[in-house]
Amino acid sequence: MNKILVVEDEEIIRKQIVLLLERNNYLVTGAATVDEALQHPLDMFDIILADIRLPGAAGTDIMKHSGQVPVVVMTSFASVRSAVESMKMGAVNYISKPFDHDELLLVIARSLHENRLSAQNAAMKKDLERSFPQQELTAESEVMKSTLDQLRSIPEAADFVFLHGERGAGKELCARMIHNCGIRAQGPLVFVDLPSYSASTYEKLMFGAETGSEMFSRQGMLYSANTGTLVIRSIELLPVEIQQQLLEHTTEKSAGGQRSLNVRVIGLSVNSPNELAEQQVLSVEFGTLFESQSYVVAPLRERREDIAPLALHYLDFFVKRYRKRRISFSVQANNALSAYQWPGNVTELKSVVERAVLMVETDEIMPAHLGLGVVDGVVNQVPLEMSLDSYFRYFVLSLQDQLSETELASKLGISRKALWERRQKMNLPRA
């Protein structure tokens, strides 16, 4: 049962409001002034109904103390100006005196509903942040630093952005950063995963209506992203005719000179716009718009300096998620992470760290927990995608703290001189 605080100095009116609300199953507390209202802990109420004109402090002053509790103001001088000023100060709604009972009940019900939705959204955001924490994109490698600098400087007027690179390289993280850096940050961020749907449903998925409809539905992903960002995974799967509809909805202006929708579209693909144009899967107009703001996200093996900070980020996250004690990477594990080729890029790294956190029974992660390869008798097999050079790097970095150069060369079946020469060639000086 919702609790309501009514702040009204005229006793007759206050009693009438209290009786009306109690008859409609609200728990009501009355107060004649703001000072009297503040004698109650305001966070115990679900809504506050306060007259603007009160003895002493104005009714709007209670908003300084109400916190998350919504305030509806009552005013006997029905003017747009008083309503606007009250809303600017934080009121969720207002009602003008004299008002009938149904009008008051409707305003209170609507305000409670909106506050409930706001609380639910806040709770959902917190829950999402626990499961999918916002990772601040940082980089140690020069190639990624350059990419992030370019993404942060994308003009606000750029409504079409294209990110391409290997699967798992971090294109979605970059798309989130682009969204959060601009004026659309307060708007919705909507992801459309085209491979998860059949081609026959793309039109309804995007616009919520079939071709020929005069108005696209609010259920469409495009409408859901209005004032924000629409991120389309595997955008090359979008048929050319739907690409054209997307352009029409996002670029055409109404008679008043305003676009029907204000959405930034970010396309994600493993191929560049030029490559997709050659494959004839992007229309000329669509491809041209993307080409002017096209960025490549380098694979993890080309930015090895980023491996360690990313691994630490995911380690901290999964330790908290699974409520594990404090865990760290051993020197050997860090070397293994650095030596591995990461064909699955950031996505694979995340999975490897999660697996290690679940497997480890001590406070230190060893190479065996990572499952990346074999080192000196460990049972796991060398991944097929690990090249000879990668395995050499992995083997040397993993064991050089435990073995002498002579012992390392012996295990590799080469001379000590050959080991030294290969170290120089691969830029692997002994620490």
User: Residues 126-172: pLDDT tens digits?
Assistant: 766 666 555 567 789 999 999 999 999 999 989 999 999 999 999 99
Mean pLDDT of all residues belonging to the chain: 84
> Which of 55-69, 71-85, 257-271, 378-392 has the least mean pLDDT?
378-392
Share of the chain above pLDDT 90, in %: 39
Q: How many Å apart are CA 119 and CA 121, to the nearest integer?
A: 5
User: For position 78, what pLDDT does the model report?
Assistant: 55
User: For position 253, what pLDDT does the model report?
Assistant: 54
| pLDDT over threshold 70, residue 259 | no
User: For position 228, what pLDDT does the model report?
Assistant: 92
Asked if 257 and 214 touch (Cβ cutoff 8 Å), the reply is no
User: Residues 90-116: pLDDT tens digits?
Assistant: 888 888 888 889 999 999 999 898 888
Q: How many Å apart are CA 234 and CA 195, to the nearest integer?
A: 7
Angle in degrees, CA 121, 123, 125, rounded to 5: 70
| pLDDT over threshold 90, residue 59 | no
In the structure, what pLDDT confidence band is assigned to residue 82 with cuts at 50, 70 and 90? Answer: confident
User: Residues 190-248: pLDDT tens digits?
Assistant: 999 999 889 888 988 998 865 444 444 456 898 889 899 999 999 999 999 999 888 88
> Domain 302-425 belongs to what topology?
Helicase, Ruva Protein; domain 3 (1.10.8)
In the structure, what pLDDT confidence band is assigned to residue 14 with cuts at 50, 70 and 90? Answer: very high
| pLDDT over threshold 80, residue 175 | yes
User: Residues 334-388: pLDDT tens digits?
Assistant: 888 888 888 899 999 999 999 899 888 889 998 878 877 634 433 344 444 556 6
Calculate mean pLDDT across residues 28-56: 91
Q: How many Å apart are CA 297 and CA 254, to the nearest integer?
A: 36
Calculate mean pLDDT across residues 2-17: 92
Handedness of CA 98, 104, 110, 111 (dihedral sign): positive
Q: How many residues does the chain have?
A: 431
Residue 352 exposed, middle or buried by CB count within 10 Å (0-12, 13-18, 19+): buried
Q: How many Å apart are CA 267 and CA 288, to the nearest integer?
A: 13
Q: Where are the beta strands (DSSP E) in 52-197?
A: 71-75, 93-96, 160-164, 189-193
Q: Are strands 160-164 and 264-269 parallel, antiparallel or unpaired?
A: parallel
| pLDDT over threshold 70, residue 79 | no
55 prior amide bond cis, ω within 30: no
User: For position 380, what pLDDT does the model report?
Assistant: 40
User: For position 255, what pLDDT does the model report?
Assistant: 45
User: For position 415, what pLDDT does the model report?
Assistant: 82
Which has more confidence, 402 or 71? 71
User: For position 131, what pLDDT does the model report?
Assistant: 60
C-alpha to C-alpha distances, 193 to 58, 92, 232, 266, nearest whole angstrom: 52, 36, 6, 12
Q: How many Å apart are CA 163 and CA 269, to the nearest integer?
A: 7
Boundaries of every domain in the chain: 3-128, 142-298, 302-425
User: For position 190, what pLDDT does the model report?
Assistant: 92
Calculate mean pLDDT across residues 246-252: 80
pTM: 0.65
User: For position 16, what pLDDT does the model report?
Assistant: 92
Calculate mean pLDDT across residues 172-184: 91
Q: How many Å apart are CA 294 and CA 164, to the nearest integer?
A: 8
In the structure, what pLDDT confidence band is assigned to residue 413 with cuts at 50, 70 and 90? Answer: low
Per CATH, the architecture of 142-298 is what?
3-Layer(aba) Sandwich (3.40)
User: For position 132, what pLDDT does the model report?
Assistant: 58
Do 142-298 and 302-425 share a fold? no
Which has more confidence, 86 or 25? 25
User: For position 386, what pLDDT does the model report?
Assistant: 54
Residue 167 exposed, middle or buried by CB count within 10 Å (0-12, 13-18, 19+): middle
> Domain 3-128 belongs to what topology?
Rossmann fold (3.40.50)
> Which of 120-129, 175-184, 322-331, 405-414 has the least mean pLDDT?
120-129
